Amino acid sequence: SSKERFRRNAKDIFALQQEVAKQIADKIEVIITPEEIARIEKIPTENLTAYDYFLRGTNLLFKGNREDLIESIPYFKKAIEYDNEFALAYADVAIAYFYLDALQAEKAYSEQIKEYADKALLYDSKSPQSLLSKALYYMNIEEYELAVPYLEKALEYNPNEAFVINTLSNFYAQYKLDTEKYLQYALKGVQLNIAAYDSVTTSFIYLHLSNALAQSGFVPEAEKYINKSLQYSPDNLFSEYLKAYILYAKNKNLEETKDLLITAYNKDLSRLDILQEIGKIYYYMRDYKNSFTYYSKFMEIKEAQELSIYPSEYGKISIVYEEMGLESEAETYFDKYFEYANEDGSLYKHLSLAMYYAHIDDTKQALEQLKLFSEEDNYHYWTILFLEIDPLVDNLKDIPEFKRLIKKIKTKFWKQHDEIKASLEDKGLL
């Protein structure tokens, strides 16, 4: 019967996919655990129509821009209509909703993310996507500690899954800041079997490693891996703009950094992240007029789209507006900066408050906050590179106590750098 033929065809397609997966694994002689064999052999759905909708959704999901994310969701939901136990489809709906919410000031999809992640876990509690979708739910509602066990379980069940490692790297880079853990997972990414991934995924694996190395002060190594990242995907603008900063760490030349960022930005004018970086470099150069050109464009789009991105930049933006004679906007942004600094749950809170008090000339409070920051661990190399040249601290420049604290912060950073280096060399990772 045609139904029987349909079932056989479905089986053939999956058999072929498993064959390919196994052949790749054999070719590169990785040791596959029994769990991984079970996972390769696990058919995501018996229903070919469901699988077809799922693939169309996945295609859009991986493009990753907003319109494609929105468009992917009905395909996954259609797949679920044809197979209501299709764990991967449930997980991908949750993942799409998470990325739709990621930059928004008001989170709109927390409930949906939870609902679909729970369904995904119900039908497959060990799949990396199921576990990650639940972790993403906790990241969306800012309960970062609760995300950790799901991320770690995803890795435990799927030790060779690039998507899992990249999510973990990203988690410690952006959500629960921890430079040492970030570096540890980024290095794990490179030990994955790179040959099994497409060039874009590989480019991101190297990007994470380069970023983690740069944050910990390993500049030559960071440069080596960012070049690798760009070899795999020359139009990876994240890598192109990180490279601009790695070259700054190497050459301390703001003019060069600014030119490289402008080149990257001109390749994709929708990149708000790069747009505000150009504003920032002009700000460090004290070229407020050009900084205003980029920052004002950034703020216009940010406000029009109600995005909650880069609240840490309000202090710099405020100074630029002040220098351009826009007093009331400058004041609004500086108030927002104070609000951000007070609510900051990261290790940079005291540094942000120090910058705030320095600019309003409350030297006592500024130095008190800077002293508290100097007792933190694990801060980024970028902090050290830009702290002293930041116009926000101009009022502190000549104060001996400021100079003493800066020296302490730097010494501590390099001591940690050496400890990390020793521990990575011990593990054969560097």
DSSP string for 320-337: HHHHTT-HHHHHHHHHHH
Q: Give CA–CA dist 375/370, Å, rounded.
A: 9
Average pLDDT over residues 315-322: 96
Pull the structure tokens for residue 386.
Answer: 């830009």
pLDDT score of 142 more than 80: yes
Contacts of 145 (CB under 8 A, 6+ apart): 176
Q: Which two tokens stand for residue 48?
A: 């070919």
Closest by CA position to 209, among listed 173, 155, 244:
173
The two structure tokens encoding residue 303: 């406000």
CB atoms within 10 A of CB 43: 13
> What confidence score (pLDDT) does residue 302 get?
87
DSSP SS3 for 377: coil
The Cα 27–Cα 46 span in angstroms is 28
What mean pLDDT value characterizes the chain? 87
Highest mean pLDDT among 174-178, 179-183, 220-224 belongs to 220-224
Angle in degrees, CA 116, 122, 128, rounded to 5? 75
Q: Which residue has the higher pLDDT, 139 or 175?
A: 139
- The residue type of 74 is P
CA 417 to chain CA mean position, Å: 22
Are residues 139 and 98 in contact, defined by beta-carbon separation less than 8 angstroms? yes
Would you state the structure tokens that stand for residue 361, as one six-digit string? 């000339």
Task: Say if residues 395 and 359 touch (Cβ distance below 8 Å).
Answer: yes
Taking CA atoms, 264 is separated from 3, 211, 230, in Å, by 53, 17, 13
pLDDT of residue 69: 87
- Cβ–Cβ contacts within 10 Å for residue 262, how many? 15
Residues 87 and 117: their CA atoms lie apart, in Å, by 9
- Segment 177-186 shows an average pLDDT of 84
**How far is residue 357's CA from residue 341's CA, in Å, rounded to a whole number?**
11
Rg of the chain, C-alpha, whole Å: 24
Q: Average the pLDDT over 71-83 and give the result.
A: 95
Residue 225: pLDDT over 60? yes
Question: Quick one: average pLDDT of 154-172?
Answer: 84
What residues form DSSP beta bridges with 307? 104
pLDDT for res 28: 46
At 236, phi and psi to the nearest 5? -80, 100
Whether residue 259 is predicted with pLDDT greater than 70 in this model: the reply is yes
Confidence of residue 240 (pLDDT cuts 50, 70, 90): very high
Q: Rounded mean pLDDT of 205-217?
A: 90
Residue 362 CB-density burial (10 A; 0-12 exposed, 13-18 middle, 19+ buried)? middle
CA distance linking residue 139 with residue 141, whole number of Å: 5
Predicted local distance difference test score (pLDDT) of residue 81: 96
- What is the C-alpha separation between 338 and 332, in angstroms, rounded? 10
Tokens of 382: 């970028």
Token pair listed for 72: 């992917």
